[in-house]
Chain A
């Protein structure tokens, strides 16, 4: 028999799968591995019920985190849930290893090179997301946001962001 709370949890995960990252809107927060857990809080007298969503920031100073927390709340409210608590935890620290393969594919389609273990330290040669050339040059370790580095492809000449390993 399937535990009813498992079904309820899965429903919430389905909603969370629709919440996107404000800075990289092709990625959902679950693609990124930002959501760590979904918990049902105890009902009275032990607690006041509700749902707790545990999230972790990608970067310490990521300005999108407040917006992500708000978007999670809004998505759940739209789907009829109430009494939602968002808890941000720091440990274990987020890593790009938690990004799903689906997420990496979507990033590339969007024109951002996905994190690659061979480029733990950003150096020339990250594969161009547009023409797949590895004849690329690192322009700056800090790209349009703190989590990305700026590159330029030497073949198709297109500048692109690389999502740094973290």
Chain B
């Protein structure tokens, strides 16, 4: 069995699951009904992606392992999601900014992954790319609307950039298992920076330089299971039912 492929597939599954869970917290709380529906629909797309990745991982591992046991019965240190997706939602602006940062990354990653030698990862990426394209457009429009909106919305977006920026670098730092996958992380990083620059510029939002003087130290660890304190709380809620009533169905 290829361990790096299992780890990599779990990393993709975990990142999409945890972001889906975070977005789902907005259900019934969105600023207006249409956007409440939009953020939860994005959540649904992400859960769909994570199911595909978990099913594939379960298949690779074999035995009694299922998509459910992977999602519900692994511990915090076994989760390999990026730190960015586990951070609290904050206000609407912060949720949107996180979605924009992550969707843009996913878009560029899946573009490469759809040509992967691994047929199943390629199929999942090809399918998901269409949806992620919507997510990028939807979140970009919100960034521009809020950044170039009122003083209040502008300042809140600046605060969100302050809060999230230091967690963006991890996406482009390949973990050991990612180094064996045929992905050009340097290309993703450059294209991501271009896209982020063009949207934040249009939104009239200032942001730290990517490199050199003034560049911000980037936090990392999620990909190898070293998380912020927040992940434990997410898993407590997410896994509660299966932990308390093993095998419960309805």
Contact = CB atoms under 8 A, between A and B. Distances in A.
Given A60-B127, A60-B128, A90-B123, A141 B44 contact: no
A58 to B, nearest CB: 10
Interface stretch (A10-18, A104-112, A142-150): A142-150
Nearest to A145: B41
A59 B45 contact: yes
A62 interface: yes
Given A60-B128, A93-B126, A93-B127, A146 B41 contact: yes
B48 A59 contact: yes
Contact of A61 (B35, B47, B138): B47
B128 A141 contact: no
A61 B123 contact: no
Interface string A105-134: 000000000000000010000000000000
B121 to A, nearest CB: 10
A94 to B, nearest CB: 8
Nearest to B39: A142
A91 interface: yes
B45 A140 contact: no
B48 A139 contact: no
B181 interface: no
A61 B48 contact: yes
B137 A60 contact: no
A93 B131 CA distance: 12
A166 B130 contact: yes
B46 A61 contact: yes
B37 interface: yes
A63 interface: yes
Interface residues of B, number: 27
Contact of A93 (B34, B48, B130): B130
A39 B126 CA distance: 25
Main secondary structure, interface of B, reads: helix
A2 B42 CA distance: 48
Main secondary structure, interface of A, reads: loop
Contact of B38 (A63, A121, A140, A166): A140
B164 interface: no
Contacts of B120: 90
Given A90-B124, A139-B34, A60 B131 contact: yes
A1 B118 CA distance: 43
Contact of B126 (A61, A91, A145): A91
A59 B131 contact: yes
Nearest to B130: A166
B119 interface: yes
Interface centre among A90, A92, A121 (most CB of B within 10 A): A90
Interface centre among A89, A140, A142, A144 (most CB of B within 10 A): A142
16 contacts: A57-B48, A57-B127, A59-B48, A61-B48, A63-B44, A90-B127, A93-B123, A93-B127, A93-B130, A140-B34, A140-B35, A140-B37, A141-B38, A142-B38, A146-B45, A166-B130
Given A61-B45, A93-B127, A142-B138, 19 more contacts: A59-B131, A60-B128, A61-B46, A61-B47, A61-B48, A61-B51, A89-B123, A90-B52, A90-B124, A90-B127, A92-B126, A93-B130, A139-B34, A140-B35, A141-B38, A141-B138, A142-B41, A146-B41, A146-B131
Interface of B: 34-35, 37-38, 41-42, 44-49, 51-52, 119-120, 122-124, 126-128, 130-131, 134, 137-138
Interface of A: 57, 59-63, 89-94, 121, 139-146, 150, 164, 166
